[in-house]
């Protein structure tokens, strides 16, 4: 029976650095959100430090993995572990977004109807006359509470009707992101067929579409803040809208960086072969995942 050598990497401090970086990133992000509008807050510095530390750690870690691969040290079993690792990473991201979609579902299907006097708990709330005259509707852009510590939005980002559909930025974002799934698939086909020019061309198009998406979302956020009065502090609708779309936008930027790195590796270093290119495959899997999440966002945040 034939056996295969299994390469065991040397001990490394990089996983510890990654864990510390993620801790700083999460603590900095949560503190920054909680301290929005608070003068003198230093939370953003923790966020930036976490970002910088994580980026540096991942750069050296992935560079080491690429060097090991180019040296022929990884075996079939080790490559299989990369597949499982990426699959579990995407699964963790699925659970991450599931929590936010679950919060949106709870608010829309239970909390808001209860405050409007609907259901058994709604009857109990109505009996104490908590918010007299409150109408349960979504998007929630009005509140009868005159002493609220936040300003509600003047207008939501929901479906504007067919007459204004061409000026609706979420529609163009959807077209751009779904098109990027097609272009990254065509790039993958080019690589598997040994056509590097086709691979580089279509992968470059995908990166360009990712940049367009981020630009359109920035324009949408400007429109929300400047013209609609919709901010992160605009009640539960503003919170859920910006948390879901904001985290998705961050993941788009992450995926765009991954694909940009793969493009640079191919253009400048001729990395990847038609039969061995898991680095690109992993990035493309993540990109398709980001697209699927956007479709769900488009349906449940903007349309329904």
Report pLDDT for 276. 85
Report pLDDT for 7. 75
Report pLDDT for 127. 62
User: Domains in the chain and their CATH numbers?
Assistant: 11-35+42-72 (1.10.287), 74-303 (1.20.120.80)
Alpha carbon separation from 15 to 20, 53, 54 (Å, rounded): 9, 12, 10
Cα separation of 39 and 51, whole Å? 22
Report pLDDT for 83. 92
Model pTM? 0.87
Nearest to 16 by CA among 61, 68, 67, 69: 61
Phi first, then psi: give them for residue 131, nearest 5 degrees. -130, 85
Report pLDDT for 182. 96
Alpha carbon separation from 213 to 72, 232, 250, 294, 299 (Å, rounded): 38, 21, 11, 11, 17
Per-residue confidence of the chain (304 residues) as pLDDT tens digits?
556 677 777 888 999 999 999 999 989 988 887 877 677 778 888 999 999 999 999 999 999 988 888 888 877 888 888 899 999 999 999 999 999 999 999 998 888 888 777 777 767 666 666 666 677 778 887 665 655 656 666 778 888 888 888 989 999 999 999 999 999 999 999 999 999 999 999 999 999 999 999 999 999 999 988 888 888 878 888 889 999 999 999 999 999 999 999 999 999 999 998 888 889 999 999 999 999 999 999 999 999 8
Report pLDDT for 37. 66
Nearest to 241 by CA among 146, 116, 140, 173: 140
């Amino acid at each position: 029976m034939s056996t295969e050598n299994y390469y065991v990497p040397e001990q490394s401090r990089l996983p510890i650095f990654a864990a510390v970086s993620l801790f700083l990133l999460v603590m900095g992000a949560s503190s920054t959100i909680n301290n929005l509008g608070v003068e003198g807050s230093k939370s953003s510095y923790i966020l930036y430090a976490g970002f910088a530390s994580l980026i540096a750690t991942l750069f050296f870690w992935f560079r080491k993995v690429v060097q090991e691969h180019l040296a022929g040290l990884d075996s079939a079993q080790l490559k299989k572990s990369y597949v499982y690792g990426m699959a579990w990473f995407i699964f963790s991201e699925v659970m991450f977004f599931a929590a936010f979609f679950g919060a949106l579902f709870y608010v829309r299907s239970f909390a808001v109807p209860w405050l409007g006097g609907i259901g058994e708990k709604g009857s109990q709330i109505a009996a104490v006359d908590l918010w007299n005259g409150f109408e349960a509707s979504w998007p929630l852009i009005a509140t009868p509470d005159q002493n609220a510590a936040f300003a509600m939005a003047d207008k939501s980002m929901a479906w504007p009707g067919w007459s204004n559909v061409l000026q609706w930025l979420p529609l163009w974002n959807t077209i751009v992101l779904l098109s990027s799934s097609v272009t990254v698939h065509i790039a993958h086909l080019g690589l598997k067929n040994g056509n590097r020019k086709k691979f580089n061309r279509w992968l470059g198009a995908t990166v360009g579409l990712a940049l367009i998406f981020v630009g359109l979302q920035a324009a949408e956020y400007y429109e929300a803040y400047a013209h609609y009065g919709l901010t992160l502090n605009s009640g539960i609708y503003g919170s859920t809208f910006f948390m879901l779309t904001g985290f998705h936008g961050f993941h788009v930027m992450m995926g765009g960086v991954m694909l940009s790195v793969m493009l640079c590796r191919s253009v400048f270093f001729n990395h990847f072969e038609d039969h061995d290119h898991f680095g690109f495959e992993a990035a493309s899997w993540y990109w398709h995942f980001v697209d699927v999440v956007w479709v769900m966002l488009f349906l449940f945040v903007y349309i329904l």
